[in-house]
Amino acid sequence: MSEQSVRHLSLEERRNRGKDARARTPRSSWETWAAADDGPDPVALIDAQNATREPDLVPVRHGRMMVSPFTFYRGAAKVMAADLEHAPRSGLEVQVCGDAHLSNFGVYASPERTLVFDLNDFDETLPGPFEYDVARLAASFVIAARNNGFSATEARAVAAAGVAAYRTAMLEFAQMRTLDVWYARLDAESVLAEVAATGSKAQRRAAARGGKMLQKARTKDSLQALSKLTETVDGVHRIASDPPVVTPGRDLMSTFGVSPDEMAEQLDGLLAAYRSTLSEERRVLLERFELVDFARKVVGVGSVGTRAWIALLQGRDGDDPLFLQVKEASASVLEDHLPGSRYEQPGERVVRGQRLMQAASDTFLGWTRGVDASRFYYWRQLRDMKGSSDVEGMTPAAMDFYAGVCGWTLARAHARSGDPVELAAYLGKGDRFDRAMAGFAERYADRNDQDYEAFVGAVRSGRLEATEGV
């Protein structure tokens, strides 16, 4: 394999590239830009995704998206990707998350067992314009704020706070040494401790709620999953049936037309293929666990209907569990509008993007092809002290603080894969970009409301089927 040479620009050259991008695409471009009214039908885009999904779960996905404009937005990444196809682009590219809404941030344990705050969903990750992630994040804050009953002024202020945090963080990263940018992370407990000691009264209240979330997150591990998701039969743990949310593999064998022996052989093959994507020391660790049971498990909003499994493994005995999540990966919704992934295997695309963007990634993060050669998966721990903020219970002060944390985190992820010096030079020290993107977020929240009403109307008319309350 031939080595590709890398050109290293001077700091001045990098700053000039950012300023040149500003001249080509002014930051004010977002002040008036809006998605075209004659764009693709949002209902048709969502329905098209159902073609490869589990038919019995598609109505569950629709039901979850119907709850509110906010839950609809969470499941409509494909719709926004189409809307942003002709959005202003500076030409400054990073590894984008592709679905950077505020509920796709949270805490989890690093391999060193420290709780870190970071992005936690990379199903749509792809190299692309940094603005895509910032726009999706900003709009999500306005939509969530409206859902919580905030005033228009409060909703816009929250979105602007998130974008301002992104911009000011990027200015800081532009001044840092390369390794310091790479090692930067948010230690969740340290951040909350600092806010509790120095923040305003409203911020201290938000920090106290965050502290309770961290305490709860520390209890979410494979032992807790063992107590909640399994039953004991003849002295052996097995995953309990709770359809349609959890359906054990033993109940799906007839659906897939395989015998127990054939299923066991297929699973052994998948495990071996998955282990090969891990580093050697992690393969050694995983080989100390044996597969005990597996089940289909419904997760999220937009992901519902894609094949998602959980696997129960055990180490020294039944009280030494490891739960893995095996989640289907398909082409990113951004690949309809941007150059396709360099990786043929979508699971590898997700894993490579996640490792690049996160400050610390799951020890067991890997990928494999499915038994069906047309399906692809990535693997990770099901519960590794994962926690998320109660967005729907946030006050304006709490969401303002949360927006700042999310904005910083997104900037750090982009600074790892992109050029923070170029990005900082483009964004500048003033608040023009913040205001322009906040205005876009308001307009896109209006657009999302319209799409939501069209989606609900499609369900009510019978065009789409929905199962609510699951």
pLDDT value at 265 more than 90:
no
Per-residue pLDDT at 325: 96
Give the structural domain span for 189. Answer: 11-219+396-460
Residue where a domain stops, chosen among 381, 408, 443: 381
Per-residue pLDDT at 1: 41
Q: How confident is the model at residue 300 (pLDDT cuts 50, 70, 90)?
A: confident
> How large is the average pLDDT for residues 230-244?
94
Per-residue pLDDT at 200: 85
Q: What count of residues does the chain have?
A: 470
pLDDT value at 365 more than 50:
yes
| pLDDT 10s digits, 109-134 | 999 999 999 999 999 999 999 999 99
Strands of 120-180, DSSP E: 126-129
- Specify whether 301 is located in the same domain as 226: yes
Q: CA 300, CA 323: separation in Å to the nearest integer?
A: 18
Mean pLDDT of the residues in the chain? 94
Q: How confident is the model at residue 5 (pLDDT cuts 50, 70, 90)?
A: confident
- Specify whether 207 is located in the same domain as 232: no
- Specify whether 163 is located in the same domain as 247: no
Return the biggest CA–CA distance within the chain: 71
Residue 376 lies in a domain: yes
Per-residue pLDDT at 434: 98
- Specify whether 253 is located in the same domain as 305: yes
- Encoded tokens for 427: 């964004």
- Specify whether 235 is located in the same domain as 326: yes
From 61-65, 168-172, 386-390, the region with the lowest mean pLDDT: 386-390
Per-residue pLDDT at 355: 97
- Specify whether 405 is located in the same domain as 269: no
Per-residue pLDDT at 343: 97
Q: CA 230, CA 312: separation in Å to the nearest integer?
A: 9
Q: How confident is the model at residue 191 (pLDDT cuts 50, 70, 90)?
A: confident
Residue 391 lies in a domain: no
- Specify whether 248 is located in the same domain as 193: no
Residue 124 lies in a domain: yes
Is 324 within 8 Å of 381 (Cβ atoms)? yes
Q: CA 470, CA 468: separation in Å to the nearest integer?
A: 6
- Specify whether 164 is located in the same domain as 20: yes
Tally of structural domains, the chain: 2
> How large is the average pLDDT for residues 17-30?
96
> Quick one: which of 422, 416, 356 has its CA closest to 22?
422
Q: How confident is the model at residue 3 (pLDDT cuts 50, 70, 90)?
A: low
Q: How confident is the model at residue 29 (pLDDT cuts 50, 70, 90)?
A: very high
Residue 386 lies in a domain: no
Residue 328 lies in a domain: yes
Strands of 110-256, DSSP E: 115-119, 126-129, 186-187, 230-233, 236-239, 246-248
- Specify whether 199 is located in the same domain as 305: no
Q: CA 279, CA 223: separation in Å to the nearest integer?
A: 25
User: Higher pLDDT residue, 210 or 173?
Assistant: 173
β-strand 290-297 against 246-248: which pairing, if any?
A: antiparallel
From 82-86, 183-187, 191-195, 280-284, the region with the lowest mean pLDDT: 191-195
| % of the chain with per-residue pLDDT over 70 | 99
Q: How confident is the model at residue 373 (pLDDT cuts 50, 70, 90)?
A: confident
- Encoded tokens for 57: 């779960």
- Specify whether 231 is located in the same domain as 174: no
- Specify whether 91 is located in the same domain as 74: yes
- Specify whether 88 is located in the same domain as 194: yes
Per-residue pLDDT at 260: 74
> How large is the average pLDDT for residues 300-308?
89
Q: How confident is the model at residue 314 (pLDDT cuts 50, 70, 90)?
A: very high
Residue where a domain stops, chosen among 336, 358, 381: 381
3-state secondary structure 420-442: HHHHHHHHCCCCHHHHHHHHHHH
| pLDDT 10s digits, 35-81 | 998 889 999 999 999 999 999 999 999 999 999 999 999 999 999 99
Q: How confident is the model at residue 195 (pLDDT cuts 50, 70, 90)?
A: confident
Is 392 within 8 Å of 402 (Cβ atoms)? no
> Quick one: which of 354, 351, 310, 349 has its CA closest to 333?
349
> Quick one: which of 125, 18, 129, 81 has its CA closest to 356?
125
pLDDT value at 2 more than 60:
no
pTM here is 0.95
> How large is the average pLDDT for residues 281-291?
96
